[in-house]
Structure formats: structure tokens, C-alpha cells
Amino acid sequence: SAVISQKPSRDICQRGTSLTIQCQVDSQVTMMFWYRQQPGQSLTLIATANQGSEATYESGFVIDKFPISRPNLTFSTLTVSNMSPEDSSIYLCSVASDRGITDTQYFGPGTRLTVL
Amino acid sequence: QKEVEQNSGPLSVPEGAIASLNCTYSDRGSQSFFWYRQYSGKSPELIMSIYSNGDKEDGRFTAQLNKASQYVSLLIRDSQPSDSATYLCAVKRRGGSYIPTFGRGTSLIVHP
């Protein structure tokens, strides 16, 4: 399986500011995703990061709030913009080598964000 | 109706017992099934995947799939306190999105 790293691992931010989270994979992968997991809750998919084109956002998530970049097959960033305390969550990068039915998703270690 | 359902638990079992975790899904087009383990404060890690009806064993873990009844289960034999975690079931359907649908997870507590 791919080795996935995320930076920062955690951060405490002030309301109204923005934070960019980086996700780096040690091998080329077709699919990269960003999830959010609030305390005690399951995973919520924010968007699929597409190389060379705009990300595909799930219902309830918009590009202005969560801009995503994916310049190549091993790297992606998620920005949480104009943060509020409701954005406090764990943000997870996830990858899959391809988009086949048996291709497995693997998760990075996560970024724990607290917004004051 | 939720697409992938799991009892949130907690499921409490004594050390050495068999823990049985269940997951039901609504989409008959589902083709691939995955179990993840998530320790508190950590990210999900893959335990097993299963694609065909029947049992698949890997060490102390056995995944069981019954597509006719639309359920998949995970058995953990000789449960250890280190198995205490939340277990997430994930399901992929054929012909549709390549993104799995996750259940809410079952919390397992193995007490000494």
C-alpha cells in the first residue's frame, strides 16, 4: 500500500483565517480524496481531487470554502478558508491506486484542526 | 434508509472471545466490501477486503459475505484489548462511483 503523509498533523487556528493541508504520497496514484471526520462521527467525503482540473465536490461542500489543488499524481492540498469553530475536525487525505471496483482506499494520518 | 448500516455499539467482549461485527447494505449492485479499523485519534487502516460470497480468513480475522442477504461481517477470534477500536464497513458498487460508501462504524471494547 502507498505511504501517505499529511502536514500539518494538527493546528489551532483563529476564526476567519485559512489553513492549507498538504498530502504527499510515495507513489503515483490515480485517485486522491479529502474527507472530514468530526468527533464521534463517521467519514464525510469533501471532494475528489482531480489532477489538472477542478476537484469534484460532494453535496454541501463548495470550492470557495474548500479549494483543492492537485498538481500531479503524488500531491494534493486542501485549504479550509475563512474558518469557524464548526470547521474543527480531523481532515483526512485518502488515495486509491486506480478507480477499479477492487481498488482499495488508504488513508493518511490526518490533520486535527481546532478553530477558536 | 442509510446505504451502509452498522450498529454503533459499543460491543463489549471479554479477552479471548470472538467478536462479531455486522454490516448491512441496501444496494444490490454492491460488489466490493472492506473492513477498516480506526483507533481513537488515528486514521482508518484497512483490515480486509472481500469480493465473493463466503468466508475469507486472515490471521485472527474472518470476513463473511452474503450478497443474497446483503450483509458482511467481520469475526475477530481470540480478541485482545489491542483490538479495541471502531470498525468501519465500506462498500463499493459496480458500474457507479468508484468511491466506497462508509458505515458509521461499530465501537469494539475488549476487556481483560
Q: What is the largest CA-CA distance in chain A?
A: 41
* Contact flag A43-B42 (C-beta cutoff 8 Å): no
pLDDT tens-digit series, residues B44-63 = 999 999 999 999 999 999 99
pLDDT tens-digit series, residues A46-63 = 999 999 889 999 999 999
Min distance A45 CA to chain B CA atoms (Å): 9
pLDDT tens-digit series, residues A61-110 = 999 999 999 999 999 999 999 999 999 999 999 998 877 777 889 999 99
Annotate A43-73 with three-state secondary structure: CEEEEEECCCCCCEECCCCCCCCCCEEEEEC
- pLDDT at position B99, please? 86
Min distance A82 CA to chain B CA atoms (Å): 25
Distance CA B6, CA A55 (A): 30
* Contact flag A102-B102 (C-beta cutoff 8 Å): no
Sole residue written with cell 481531487: A49
Q: Is A29 on the interface with B (CB under 8 A)?
A: no
Q: Is A104 on the interface with B (CB under 8 A)?
A: yes
